[in-house]
Chain A
Amino acid sequence: MNMSLTKKSLLAGALALCVCATSAFAGGKTLKVGDTLPDFSTFQLEGKLPADFKGKVILLDFWASWCGPCKESFPVMEDLHKKYGEKGFVILAVNVDETSEAMKDFLKEHKASFTIVHDKSKKLVGTANISSMPTSFMLDKEGKIAAVHKGFHGKDTIKQYEAEIEKLLSTEVAKK
């Protein structure tokens, strides 16, 4: 058991490499189905939030102006907003661009009537710790995550969105 100094140093180096690699590439905790998001007003989001989210089915979507699939998802979200907006469905699109100017430039070309806020501090997206862009969370009437959508995959995602929205809108909230 009498290890030479060189061997000890090599072992320590290998250990340090493992520790560093683990800490650098560790994903951290990601929100999953069944989790509840904290109050949106605590995240210092830039933009006006709807007065009351209670009892609403919410699509929380993280997007950026530089993200191609996000551009594809915008007309789809606009359609969903028009189709289900009056039935108790709300879209909260959270922009994660570095500057709000980039977001505004994008919105000049891609008009949207649903709620859009800018997460300048990256607190909300950091809490959600999403693993790809875009990522959206479908929240039920009680504010619990009912589904997580990683990326936007055209017709497949649209089908899933519609099925989830219709199911969640028809679900009664248990009275407490």
Chain B
Amino acid sequence: MKKKLLLLSGCAGVLLLSGCANVKPWERSTLADYTMRADRDPLTISLSEHMWFSREAASGGRGVGGGGCGCN
């Protein structure tokens, strides 16, 4: 029973992991859309920054890779 469970979880792991995909540079039209930008609304950004700073006594460190055109 334990063996089967391990085998099943192993298979599920392989199936789930194979869902990873590499987006080619020419397939980034949706990512390049304005609505995908994390910094599209300066007011929201400044408010979030203020809340973050007040709560955590830390600022900066915003922004992650992944969105955007990825050009140049």
A68 contacts B29, C-beta separation under 8 Å: no
Q: Please tell me if B47 contacts chain A, counting CB pairs below 8 Å.
A: no
Chain A residues closer than 8 Å to B72, beta-carbon distance: 69, 132-133, 150-153
Cα A132 to Cα B13 in complex, Å, equals 31
Q: Please tell me if B44 contacts chain A, counting CB pairs below 8 Å.
A: no
Which residues of B in the span 22-43 have a Cβ within 8 Å of any Cβ on A? Answer: 22, 24-26, 28-29, 32-33
Q: Please tell me if A12 contacts chain B, counting CB pairs below 8 Å.
A: yes
Residue from B17, B26, B71, B72 whose CB has the most chain A CB atoms within 10 Å = B26
- Knowing A64-B29, A66-B29, A122-B26, the reply to whether A133 touches B69 (Cβ < 8 A) is yes
Q: Please tell me if B57 contacts chain A, counting CB pairs below 8 Å.
A: no
B22 contacts A133, C-beta separation under 8 Å: no
B33 to chain A, nearest CB (A): 7
Q: Please tell me if A6 contacts chain B, counting CB pairs below 8 Å.
A: yes
Cα A26 to Cα B26 in complex, Å, equals 16
A16 contacts B32, C-beta separation under 8 Å: no
Q: How many residues of A contact B (CB 8 A)?
A: 37
Cα A153 to Cα B22 in complex, Å, equals 25
Q: Please tell me if A97 contacts chain B, counting CB pairs below 8 Å.
A: yes
Chain B residues closer than 8 Å to A69, beta-carbon distance: 71-72
- Knowing A16-B10, A133-B26, A133-B28, the reply to whether A24 touches B71 (Cβ < 8 A) is no
A24 contacts B13, C-beta separation under 8 Å: no
A101 to chain B, nearest CB (A): 12
A64 contacts B17, C-beta separation under 8 Å: no
Q: Please tell me if B14 contacts chain A, counting CB pairs below 8 Å.
A: yes
12 CB < 8 A contacts A-B: A12-B10, A16-B13, A17-B13, A20-B18, A66-B32, A67-B69, A96-B26, A131-B25, A132-B70, A134-B71, A152-B72, A153-B72
